[in-house]
Structure 1
Amino acid sequence: MNREQISELAHADHPIKSPIDDDSVRLLLERGAPRGDERVLDLGCGGAEWLLRALAAHPELHAEGVDISEDALLRARESADRLGLQGRLALHHQEAAEFRSPHSFDLVLSVGSTHAFGGLLPTLAAARGHLAPGGHVLIGDGFWDREPSREAVEMLGEFADLATTLDRVVADGWTPVHGHVSTRRELDDYEWACWGSLASWALDHPADPDSAQVLETATLRRGEWLRVYRDTWGFVSLVLRRTSD
């Protein structure tokens, strides 16, 4: 079973692939698209979960998503068809960093996808190229809530603390107009959901040739979370505007 298949199983009970609960997602989208008739772009949309929620809440909103996963985009199309939203959703199968559009967007999203661009600031640079004057960017990324171990840095990557993260965003020409720091409950709920979903699938499919691998992965990842980064890693979602258009 490949990495994408394992990720899909892991997120069966937590479709938002970041430690953010439903109420927080709703509020972030409301702050990012306050009129309700915006044109929205998600760079690294996966199954388009954010876009589908925005479209369902706002019947005049239009959205586009970009992702390299054919399977994820297929799921997005099936979900849009089921919800009757397909007429307002365009999906593009390509690298998010290479996407070009003839028009700009009122809201550009990239939550939990900054790795596709090489980090937070490169992701903001990409978003800037798609953003209409006066528009918003909704971005979500990790930070260190306290000093991490070397093992945690090697596992999750180079992050700054929250204050430094915001300083870098502001210095890059952005002004935060809303933000959400994921709570301990959101962080824990996300991890329990991911590794619990994997473990449940393995136990429900003991005859599947991938069952042992999936259960081993769930056990390994749960242990890494509890022992390596649970007490040090956090997640922040920011709604930003360009300081000067």
Structure 2
Amino acid sequence: MDRQKISAIAHTDHPIAAPLGDDTVRVLLDRALPHGDARLLDLGCGSGAWLLRAQTARPDLHAEGVDNAAEAIATARRLAAEAGYGDRLTLHTQDAADFTSPHLYDLVLSIGATHAFGGLRPTLEAARRHLAPGGSVLVGDCFWEREPGRATLEAGFAADEYDDLATTVDRVTADGWTPVHGHVSTLREWDDYEWSWTGSLSRWALDHPDDPDSGAALETAAEHRDAWLHGYRGTLGFVTLLLRRTPSP
């Protein structure tokens, strides 16, 4: 089953593709969004959930999103048109790592999309190239809440795939960034996200038994649920950081 189709279905009821609740998203955007005639760029925007919420909060915002999932971009365009934001939102169907623009942006977002760049630090390096002077970056990525055990590693992770929270932040600051806000996803946020992910995919499969992908969808949901419950629940964390460039000495 196509990964983009899996993702689109699995995020039906949780369009924020990360373990973040609605209240958390609202607070993060309230802290991060610039006022006035500002530009926002979302690298790995998916179906545009962050972009649409940002434009609702800041009507004069000029926003752009980049994602290589054509169906997700089509969904973002449709939702933006339905909300009346079509003339204020520019969407690009391409790899976020290859995106270039004549503009610099007051806020660069990349939440749960660091895989597109090869990790957190390469994501921040890409964001740096797009950032206007004095701008901010809102980035979200995983970390180890505790040292991963055998069950977590057997769920498909590598021990060196992530660092603990303190080391993660230390490496970010060593690369020339200053955290001005942050949020560590709670276990409840993780559970809500995972139940929604696996539940949406399972429900679709059960509701569409004649679809040729229904069996694969049900199997994927079950495998994901087992990996979560028996593997990484309580071990894999997620942190969202609001960053600004540290002034050079």
TM bucket normalised to smaller: over 0.9
Q: Which residue of 1 aligns with 2:175?
A: 172
Of residues 76-85 and 93-102 in structure 1, the stretch that sits farther from structure 2 once superposed is 93-102
**Residue 100 in structure 1 maps to residue 103 in structure 2:** no
Q: Which residue of 2 aligns with 1:186?
A: 189
Q: State the secondary structure of the residue aligned to 1:47.
A: coil
Q: Which residue of 2 aligns with 1:48?
A: 48
CA shift digits 1:141-196 (9 cap, x unpaired):
00000010255347245000000000000000000000000011100000000001
Q: CA deviation at 1:206?
A: 2.0
Q: CA deviation at 1:101?
A: 1.0
- Alignment TM-score, normalising by the size of structure 1: 0.96
Distance 2:125 2:99 in 1: 13
Flag structure 1 segments of 5+ consecutive residues without an equivalent. Answer: none
- Look up the equivalent residue of 1:215 and give its one-letter code: L
Q: CA deviation at 1:239?
A: 0.3
CA RMSD of aligned residues (A): 1.3
Q: Which residue of 1 aligns with 2:198?
A: 195
CA shift digits 1:11-59 (9 cap, x unpaired):
1110000000111111111111142542000111111110111011111
Distance 1:193 1:114 in 2: 22
Q: Which residue of 2 aligns with 1:206?
A: 209
**Alignment of structure 1 residues 1-245 onto 2, 5 Å:** 1-35=1-35, 37-150=37-150, 152-153=152-153, 155-157=156-158, 158-244=161-247
- Alignment TM-score, normalising by the size of structure 2: 0.95
CA change 1:35–1:153 in 2 (3 A) is: farther
CA change 1:209–1:193 in 2 (3 A) is: same
Distance 1:149 1:3 in 2: 27
Residue pair 1:37, 1:58 contacting (<8 A) in 2 also: no
CA shift digits 1:42-99 (9 cap, x unpaired):
1111111101110111111110011111111111100110000011101112111111
Aligned residues: 245
Q: State the secondary structure of the residue aligned to 1:129.
A: helix
Structure 1 runs (4+) greater than 4 angstroms displaced = none
Of residues 1-10 and 147-156 in structure 1, the stretch that sits farther from structure 2 once superposed is 147-156
Residue pair 2:34, 2:106 contacting (<8 A) in 1 also: no
